[in-house]
Amino acid sequence: MNSAGPSARALDGAAVAAEIRDALRPRIEAFHRAAGRSPVLGLLLAGSDPGSEVYVRNKIRQSEGLGIGTALERLPESAAFAEALAVVEAFNADPGIDGILVQSPLPAGMGKNAERRIFEAIDPSKDVDGFHPVNVGRLVQQTPALAPCTPSGVMELLDRSGVELEGRQAVVIGRSDIVGKPMSMLLLHRHATVTICHSRTVDLARVAARADVLVAAVGRPAMVTTDFVKPGATVVDVGTNALTDRNQVVSIFGAGSRKLAAFDKRGRVLCGDVHPGVAAVAGAVSPVPGGVGPLTIAMLLSNSVRAAEQRLRR
């Protein structure tokens, strides 16, 4: 029930993702005609994290459904960092690989800095996640770059939903390298006045309530309540939290909710960072699921095609 209520419209990420995929089809066909092959995405999946298995499976299914080839390399939970690095270096050197994605998280045994080190090893021109320092720097400088997929998807959602950004107050709750920081840069480049909030922000609700556009990306179920939201504001919920406690589901969604019925059937439900009650105050809200989630993969596909096109033009 984390979707728009009577006074808020739902920002339909699934529909926008479908539009993005449809627009990629002729570009993929044109690439195939020019290169004599499809664009190819190389994926590294290390370990046995169940969520990662699902994410990679979905990425492969959607890539191949669109005509993008995939090359999956798997490593066991016991693999050393050097083995992961060798896969990335092989992808870098392979002219038939246009984009590289390393699925997070990497196994803990690879070390606490393994993800940063592996992202830095990826050829920036193949970095479809947009995490390499070169691409981060290009994003800050507003030069052509492969930008992180989730923030890019949020921008597509706002643009295609007719949300005005220029001159508006935007608040981003969360300062991660993956979402919060690049999200703030993309909004700033569109001439919004941007405030980044985090766990040490004093009077967070009051700061958030100034926003015309509020982006929640903190990973805390239903943290953003009505007192965080300016009436009529656009609220984008980036959070995807699995609830496994029935009492928590009742507390957030109510005893007679469809979410509770779904929980009783499956033993878990998804909840965003935004409380469902926000729909009574906001002008527009992105639902969970069906909001930002589909756009993350759509922008991964878009970055894969863009990387292939750029390499072809060299």
- Stated as kind and residue range, the H or E segment containing 20 is helix 13-35
Check 12, 123, 127, 129 and give the catalytic one: 129
Alpha helices in 190-257 (DSSP H): 204-208, 246-253
Residue 129 is among the residues annotated as catalytic for this protein:
yes
Check 59, 126, 181, 259 and give the catalytic one: 59
Check 62, 98, 103, 273 and give the catalytic one: 103
Q: What's the order of all strands across the beta sheet hosting 284-285?
A: 9-10, 284-285, 234-237, 213-216, 169-173, 193-197
258-266 helix and 246-253 helix, angle to the nearest 10 degrees: 170
User: Which residues 6+ apart lie within 8 Å of 70 measured at CB?
Assistant: 40, 41, 42, 43, 59, 60, 63, 64
Residue 141 is among the residues annotated as catalytic for this protein:
no
Residue 230 is among the residues annotated as catalytic for this protein:
no
Q: What whole-number distance in Å separates Cα of residue 86 and Cα of residue 71?
A: 15
50-66 helix and 13-35 helix, angle to the nearest 10 degrees: 60
* Cβ atoms of 196 and 211 closer than 8 Å: no
Q: What is the DSSP string of 113-171?
A: THHHHHHHHS-GGGBTT--SHHHHHHHHHT-S----HHHHHHHHHHHHTT---TT-EEE
Could you give phi then psi for residue 271, rounded to 5 degrees?
A: -140, 140
In b/e form, how buried is each residue of 163-200, taking b as 16+ CB within 10 angstroms? bebeebebbbbbbbebbbbbbbbbbeebebbbbbbeee
Positions marked active-site: 59, 103, 129
